[in-house]
Structure 1
Amino acid sequence: MILQKAAFAIPGDYTTLTGGYIYERRLLEGLQAQGRDVAHIVLGGSFPTPTAADMADAAAQLTALAPDRPLIMDGLVFGSIDPNILARMAAPIVAMIHHPLAHESGLDAGLRAHFLETERANLTHTAHVLVPSPHTAALLQSDYGVEASRITIVRPGTDRPGVDLSCGQRAKATSPLILSVGIAHPRKGHDILLRALSMLLHRDWQAVIIGSRYDEGHARALDALHAYLGLAGRVKLAGRVSADELAQNYADAQIFALATRYEGYGIVFDEALSYGLPIVSCNTGAVPDTVPSTAGLLVPAENADAFANALDRMLTDVDLRGAMAQASSRFGAALPSWDDAAALVGTVLDRLVRL
């Protein structure tokens, strides 16, 4: 069988440690590992608010693609690129939408309306859409009128734990470790988590928040809040860490907590499940699709009191925590691999009919 060749357009540095970049990099590498000819098209890092130079470069690269090389297009580009560029392309377009840009939190009304208009227009030029969750698939059908037959849900793959979990179990005999993983960005809700933790200083726990200082202004605000709440000695703002250190923190933790405001998927939840961690998070976006109800407690977003109560329950109810850890481990063992995810994308490419 001849494998369909393709191209994959990703803006900026695809080694950046965010869930979206990890997802796309692993899929690109997985498609190439199949022996498939997949060109990596590097676009400017200013998307989704592109400079004129980055927009012009994208137009030149994408319109030059041959009609027999379908293009997988990252959602940051897809939702913000000029629809006239897509209309001029000869190559079939496969949109990869983690969540619609118009549903991003913290947007002003003008930018939200612009993204909504652009995404709707660009979807008319699209042969197929890849999404990471049923939640995003449902949004595209309800808000954008995309037929279900044009959408494929590709759940991110998961690597199995690369450390000896028995070492982590020994660490769990001491003060419970609460782990949070997510970039310093307002959407990740680390400010809500810090406020919740400040309400639980009478309990025995330690916490670490891991994630790059993606939004430096927000990272500085988190530093200031951390100091204001008196969390030094209890909560470590670790920033970006090595893969080995991240794995060891997962192994050492007893609870995974992310007070996210919205997720189109949330790869870190699968990582937590793979390590058998009970989860405290928010009932928003794709989180309920991703976190099994028997493996975690979900509360309303933007509610530090509710988040603190859920954490307190997880800390003090040992039987609940143990049952949720067991459920998490079962679900984690059944998660798809990255090879599984790439195989599904490959099937879409091989079956693609050019519009």
Structure 2
Amino acid sequence: MGSILNPKTGGEYYDNRLYQSFRELNPSNIEVITDKSFSKNRLELSKELYRRINNSDKNDITIYNTAIFPYIIFALFRNSLSRNKKVVLGIHHHFRFKEQSGFKRLIFYILEKLCLKLSTDIICPNPYIIDGLKKIGCNKVTYIGHPFEHKVQSISNHEKFKFLYVGTVYERKGLTYLIDAINLLPDKLKKEIELNIVGETSHTQYVDNLRTKINEYNLDSTIFLRGRVSKDDLNKYYCNAYCFLFPSLYEGYGLVIEEAMSYGLPVIAFNNSAIPYTIHDKENGLLANNRDSLDFARKIELAINDETLYEVMCKGALHSYSKSHSLTDFKKEINTLYTKLQKTYE
């Protein structure tokens, strides 16, 4: 897995951009502490965060990813009681409690909500998450969208029957539903389709389960787990794809959706979480009923059989990407936030 200094996921790339942009504004007084820094002893992470936020005389701005809320919550609570409160900004990509179930989900909800409310401000890259924050009473939110360079690049040649998924291969990404959907396609289509699954495969148990399912369905010559690939090879996969398939079960944003659209690829995905904020049904992609593999299979068939609709969605995908947040917008918004914080807490 990656980190803010060695990004591999969409969220990590966002955090890295944020960090680099703040460094440009104040290069001498910013450093990175992540949960990876103290992976051998998470208690040390809690102690270090507490010390840096509450025992420092510097008027620093602390920025953290809210994924580490169990380790920073005591530091935030102590800071809230201090007369000389420090500025603590949380980067919130998605709600961790939604990945849990049962009693653990309730505990995560309480602690995550408290952590968010104790922060000075929350930086959020997606309107979907902002809506969710407001529903739980968190109104101190600053929207700074995911930045895209909008550089000139190749467009897919839309090779029919070639489908692509890009992303980390683990449970939240819903790939078992995608394999089921491919298996539900008519036999004639299954023989023609090629699905390339590209991305980190370090979650070995889940990957093994996928391989078993692929074998059971006799889809070894249809579905290929490619693992991580080079940038050049990834570009080739995008350029040769007909459609991008994204069966994720929960997304705070889904950066890879925009990436696929930059190649002119329509995206087929489940209708959940932040996904319909980016994918508009029959305009730049297709939305299937959530966790419904049969409906997902029907959407794949529709994309193949309705050429007029497919052309509309290809144009719509490129248009959506052209309207996405630029790197210039991103830096301006960070500068505005930084200036506001300096004036408020100087």
- TM-score tier, shorter chain, comes to 0.7 to 0.9
1:188 aligns with 2:180: no
1:119 aligns with 2:112: yes
Residue type of the alignment partner of 2:31: H
Name the residue aligned to 1:8: none
- Answer yes or no: is the 8 Å Cα contact 1:178–1:208 preserved in 2: yes
Name the residue aligned to 1:5: none
Residue type of the alignment partner of 1:140: L
- Answer yes or no: is the 8 Å Cα contact 2:144–2:330 preserved in 1: yes
What is the deviation of 1:302? Answer: 1.2
Question: For residues 41 and 83 of structure 1, what CA distance do their matches in structure 2 show?
Answer: 18
Q: CA distance change for structure 1 residues 237 and 87 in 2, over 3 Å: closer, same or farther?
A: same
Q: Secondary structure at the match of 1:111?
A: helix
Residue type of the alignment partner of 2:233: E
Q: Secondary structure at the match of 1:71?
A: strand
Q: CA distance change for structure 1 residues 112 and 303 in 2, over 3 Å: closer, same or farther?
A: same
The aligned length equals 334
Name the residue aligned to 2:138: 146
Farther-moved stretch of structure 1 (282-291 vs 339-348): 339-348
**Identical counterparts, % of pairs:** 23
What is the deviation of 1:258? Answer: 0.5
Which ranges of structure 1 fall in alignment gaps of 5 or more residues?
A: 1-10
Question: For residues 202 and 241 of structure 1, what CA distance do their matches in structure 2 show?
Answer: 30
Of residues 257, 269, 288, the one that matches 2:257 is 269
Question: For residues 103 and 65 of structure 1, what CA distance do their matches in structure 2 show?
Answer: 34
What is the deviation of 1:16? Answer: 4.2
- Answer yes or no: is the 8 Å Cα contact 2:92–2:124 preserved in 1: yes
Name the residue aligned to 2:82: none
Report the RMSD for the aligned CA atoms in angstroms: 2.5
Q: Normalising by the residue count of structure 1, what TM-score does the alignment of the two structures yield?
A: 0.86
Give the alignment of 1:271-286 within 5 angstroms. 271-286=259-274
Of residues 268, 288, 302, the one that matches 1:313 is 302
1:88 aligns with 2:81: no
- Answer yes or no: is the 8 Å Cα contact 2:250–2:272 preserved in 1: yes
What is the deviation of 1:47? Answer: 9.3
- Answer yes or no: is the 8 Å Cα contact 2:160–2:304 preserved in 1: no
Q: Normalising by the residue count of structure 2, what TM-score does the alignment of the two structures yield?
A: 0.88
What is the deviation of 1:270? Answer: 0.8
Name the residue aligned to 1:205: 193
Name the residue aligned to 1:251: 239
Q: Deviation per CA, 1:145-166, whole angstroms, max 9, x where unpaired?
A: 012xx2122221124466533x
Give the alignment of 1:9-24 within 5 angstroms. 12=3, 14-24=5-15
Farther-moved stretch of structure 1 (343-352 vs 25-34): 25-34
| Greater helix content | 2
